[in-house]
Structure 1
Amino acid sequence: MTPGTALWRPALTLALVALVGLGGLLGLRALTAERITEQERARERAALARVLPPALHDNAPDEDRILLLAPGWLGSEAALPLRRARREGRASAFVIEAVAPDGYNGDIRLLLAASRGGELLGLRVLEHRETPGLGDGIDPERSDWSRQLQGRRLRDPPRADWRLRQEGGAFDALAGATLSSRAVLGAVQRALELVERHGEALAAAPAGSTLRLDDAPEALR
């Protein structure tokens, strides 16, 4: 062994060990990222199944999505995902993420499904900061308050009656949580109006695209 060989051989061995270690680390990271992605998709599918009747679609709604930038309709300055349910290629329902910005303690994030004909099929609360024991009853897992909205359309009741009963409308407020109730009711009404007014555009936008809508319901103008 020459003196030069004695010098570079340990360095080469160390470099090879480092390279193998780096490869293992990158492989582990890729495997972990893949598992996280699968877990996130499983959670998304479970959430969709809770608001969207399976009989309404033969596609995978979590794979047929667009981003919707529509602050006046969705209550958010950021683009929010919208999924499309289809049967035989035709849009049968939309699963909409929306924000009620006027909750008692701030934003209330909702996930709701509306049929192509504008019927509310299902509603879930994704995130809120409403008062425990009072405003948190807007979540269907906490109370049955939101059941009164199930199956309703914009004309059932008439638009003028899409208010709380104590304000002359057709819907009961959650006891002790008038602001929370009003916020959710308003967000649901806006989402149903969105489907009525822009349903064709929502159905036709290419999957993966971003659709921008700069108008708003008349009540918000």
Structure 2
Amino acid sequence: MIVSSMVKNGAILMAFALVTTGAVTLVQQFTAPTIAVQEKKQLQGLLHQVLPESAYDNELYLDCTVVTDPELGSNEPHTVYRARNQGEVIALVMQSTAPNGYSGNIELLSAIYPDGTVAGVRVTKHNETPGLGDKVEPKRSDWINSFSQQQVLNAGDSRWAVKKDGGMFDQFTGATITPRAVVGAVKNTVIYAQAHFSELANAANSCEVAQSNE
């Protein structure tokens, strides 16, 4: 009787597990397209925030290459989108990382012209302190817009620092580490973009491949 009961209970548990797994799989299959659409819209929204749509005529989110280089702040792959006008790459929109935020990595998206001028910057992910470090978000303050139309002249451009360090960018009251990290990361990203602009502009299209595999 005991063995029979154990077998019966085991069969019930197995059946329950199979049904649950099947249900989860079905939910994932049904929701995956919706999630993909939302991610696409979010990406397009960010791309449009850092670079005006009027500046390019290609589908920006479908034209990219992927770079893995610690100069961009981490050893993780970073996507570089190419903005084109009549086929010519007129700007790069680059993912990069500020590894020295107050609460860890700060992920960035920066649009950069060939001469080192920044079109715009957005923080895409961070864990900074609410009310202090989160002022990097445009809904919290307009600080992130202070990068627009600024140019990095060279690697030794001392203007690219917070004012506390003798630079031109404001720091936050009670929070200097976060803006310092973002300024440094954007500067490094601009320098990298200038040094590798032609290489990145002419690299194979990774986004087109990813799209065709979906």
TM-score range relative to shorter protein = 0.7 to 0.9
The answer as to whether partners of 1:165 and 1:171 remain within 8 angstroms in 2 is yes
Q: 1: distance between equivalents of 2:44 and 2:163?
A: 35
The answer as to whether partners of 1:138 and 1:174 remain within 8 angstroms in 2 is no
Matches within 5 A, 1:56-67: 56-67=55-66
Structure 1 residue ranges without an equivalent (≥5): 1-21, 210-221
Q: 2: distance between equivalents of 1:167 and 1:87?
A: 38
User: Where does residue 97 of structure 1 map in the other structure?
Assistant: 95
Q: How far does the alpha carbon of each residue in 1:135-178 deviate from its partner, in whole angstroms, 9 at most, with x for none?
A: 1112222112223221101129x702212222222222122111
Please report how far the alpha carbon of residue 30 of structure 1 lies from its aligned counterpart in structure 2 after TM superposition: 5.0
User: Where does residue 50 of structure 2 map in the other structure?
Assistant: 51
SS across alignment from 1:159 = coil
Q: 2: distance between equivalents of 1:118 and 1:49?
A: 19
Q: TM-score normalised to the size of structure 2?
A: 0.79
The answer as to whether partners of 1:145 and 1:174 remain within 8 angstroms in 2 is no
User: Where does residue 161 of structure 2 map in the other structure?
Assistant: 163
Q: 2: distance between equivalents of 1:160 and 1:43?
A: 34
User: Where does residue 173 of structure 1 map in the other structure?
Assistant: 171
CA distance 1:38–1:176, change in 2 (3 Å): same
What letter matches 1:131 in structure 2?
Answer: T
Q: TM-score normalised to the size of structure 1?
A: 0.76
Q: How far does the alpha carbon of each residue in 1:154-209 deviate from its partner, in whole angstroms, 9 at most, with x for none?
A: 129x7022122222222221221111011000011011101111101110101018
Matches within 5 A, 1:182-193: 182-193=180-191
What letter matches 2:147 in structure 1?
Answer: L
1:149 paired to 2:147 = yes
CA distance 1:41–1:200, change in 2 (3 Å): same
Q: 2: distance between equivalents of 1:79 and 1:207?
A: 15
Q: 2: distance between equivalents of 1:169 and 1:194?
A: 20
The answer as to whether partners of 2:78 and 2:95 remain within 8 angstroms in 1 is yes
CA distance 1:167–1:30, change in 2 (3 Å): closer
Q: 2: distance between equivalents of 1:174 and 1:91?
A: 35
The answer as to whether partners of 1:164 and 1:182 remain within 8 angstroms in 2 is yes
Q: Among the aligned pairs, what percent are the same residue? A: 36
What letter matches 2:64 in structure 1?
Answer: R
Among 72, 75, 100, the alignment partner of 2:73 is 75
The answer as to whether partners of 1:101 and 1:108 remain within 8 angstroms in 2 is yes
Q: How far does the alpha carbon of each residue in 1:90-148 deviate from its partner, in whole angstroms, 9 at most, with x for none?
A: 10111111110001111111112112322111111111111111111122221122232
The answer as to whether partners of 1:118 and 1:192 remain within 8 angstroms in 2 is yes
Question: How large is the RMSD of aligned CA atoms in angstroms?
Answer: 2.4
Please report how far the alpha carbon of residue 39 of structure 1 lies from its aligned counterpart in structure 2 after TM superposition: 2.3
